[in-house]
Amino acid sequence: MQKPVLISGAGLASLLLARSLLQSNIPFQVFERDASLAFRGQGYRLRLSSQGLDAIESVLEPAAFQRFYDQCGKTAGKGVVTLDAVTGKMLEHMPEALGSRGGKIVGISRGDMRRLFLEGFEDRIQFNKYVTGYELTDDGVRAVFADGTKSVEGALLVAGDGIKSLVAKQVSGGRLKVYDTGARGIHGQASTTAFKSLGEGVFRLLDESTPGRQISIITNVRPGDMDDPDIQFGWTLGAVPGVIEVPNNDYSIVGKTAADIAKSLTSGWHPHFKPLIDNINESEAAFWKITCSTPTGVPEWPNEPRVTVIGDAAHAMTPAGGNGANTAVRDSALLGRLLREAGGYNNGVTAAYEKEMRVYASEEVRASYGIATKIFNAEINESTPSV
């Protein structure tokens, strides 16, 4: 009997890989640190590029992909419209780099995406399993958990456990690093009625009224849902270093504290935009540190055939460019395809995957960091420790 592929983390990349293995009849087990998939806020929406959608379509069966695509919001508009947050004037109209099918911006919430990827293997996730590393055996690998216990012996361990992946550190000998760019963000959401005056489209509200303290909000106003006050739209506020100070630097604080800081930072904004922040759903507000992995791209490390890394664990990027999830799902589709073609684990699969992943993921990390240096004054000093 084939040993299972062990997957650390039940995020987007892991669940799409698991779905691919399910289709190929390759056994697997997923280990997730949280108590359930709904344990943390899932509020924010992801914009899917053509490449991201193609990767998802290559994994899901046609009917499942149709269900997925039907669930996505499709926003028209002429690209990203930048408005001066204080005067309300239009500043810039940029073609949307992430426009995908039908020329629309296709987006879905992270929670819906996970739920749709997970169809058919809900029973294969073990929760409350915090993976701290791995142990190679003569003929396989075991994941090691925080309570000292170990998993069954697997053929392969795949780390899809995000920016703080300990498996990524172990397998790369510390070469995979994630840095704090100094820029900070707040995620918020409010009832759709607060967005109505913007109309359909993707908007960036830019406040440069105080030199050196630039802040901006990006939001995507979808049609259809706009008249339903029970639906909430999200926005993401990003600020250059030094503008958002999280009390005691404690990023586990969410809710009212984050909402109040967003309100005070935007108190001078144009009345057209203020409802977005003033009507924030306080319980869903959250701080976030804008991080990025090594800005020159995914580093090389000596391949370990039985352990590899996907998604943010391999290539965390800033929100600039909006390609973190799009790149993560490309990894899942690629590794899933290579495993299917090999009929399960074989010695060369992870090396082949890493070689190809390094090329496209490095491009995306470099592009994202480049944009973030301009719009968030992001700055990485590679001599600082990994976050």
Ligand X SMILES: Cc1cc2nc3c(=O)[nH]c(=O)nc-3n(C[C@H](O)[C@H](O)[C@H](O)COP(=O)(O)OP(=O)(O)OC[C@H]3O[C@@H](n4cnc5c(N)ncnc54)[C@H](O)[C@@H]3O)c2cc1C
Q: Is 21 in the site for ligand X (CB under 6 A)?
A: no
Q: Of 4, 77, 319, 344, which lies in the binding site for ligand X, with binding defined by CB under 6 A?
A: 319
Residues comprising the chain, all counted: 387
Provide, rounded to whole angstroms, the least separation between the CB of residue 372 and ligand X. 13
Which residue lies nearer to ligand X by CB, 17 or 155? Answer: 17
Provide, rounded to whole angstroms, the least separation between the CB of residue 159 and ligand X. 8
Stretch 112-141 residues interacting with ligand X (CB under 6 A): 130-131
**C-alpha distances in Å from residue 160, one per residue of 273, 298, 316:** 37, 15, 11
Provide, rounded to whole angstroms, the least separation between the CB of residue 248 and ligand X. 21
Residue 254 near residue 282 (C-beta atoms within 8 A): no
Which residue lies nearer to ligand X by CB, 304 or 331? Answer: 331
Torsion, Cα 102 188 94 375, to 10 degrees, reads -140
User: x/- binding map, residues 46-85, to ligand X, per CB under 6 A?
Assistant: xx--------------------------------------
Report the alpha-carbon distance of residue 297 to residue 293 in Å, rounded: 8
Strand segments (E) across the chain: 5-8, 28-31, 45-48, 73-75, 80-84, 90-94, 105-109, 125-126, 131-137, 140-145, 156-159, 178-191, 201-207, 215-221, 232-239, 286-293, 307-309
Type of residue numbered 21 = L
Segment lying near ligand X (by CB under 6 A), choices 115-123, 243-251, 323-331, 377-385: 323-331
Which residue lies nearer to ligand X by CB, 192 or 318? Answer: 318
**C-alpha distances in Å from residue 256, one per residue of 236, 262, 263, 356:** 16, 10, 10, 44
What burial letters (b/e) apply to 10-34, b meaning 16+ CB within 10 Å?
bbbbbbbbbbbbbebebebbbbbbe
Segment lying near ligand X (by CB under 6 A), choices 9-17, 291-299, 300-308, 369-377: 9-17
Q: Of 4, 9, 140, 336, which lies in the binding site for ligand X, with binding defined by CB under 6 A?
A: 9
Q: Nearest to ligand X by Cβ — which residue?
A: 11
Which residue lies nearer to ligand X by CB, 155 or 285? Answer: 285
Provide, rounded to whole angstroms, the least separation between the CB of residue 236 and ligand X. 5
Which residue lies nearer to ligand X by CB, 138 or 147? Answer: 147
Residue 158 near residue 28 (C-beta atoms within 8 A): no
Q: Of 77, 99, 154, 160, which lies in the binding site for ligand X, with binding defined by CB under 6 A?
A: 160
Residues that bind ligand X (CB under 6 A): 8-14, 31-34, 44, 46-47, 130-131, 160-162, 164, 166, 187, 236, 288, 311-313, 319, 322-326, 328
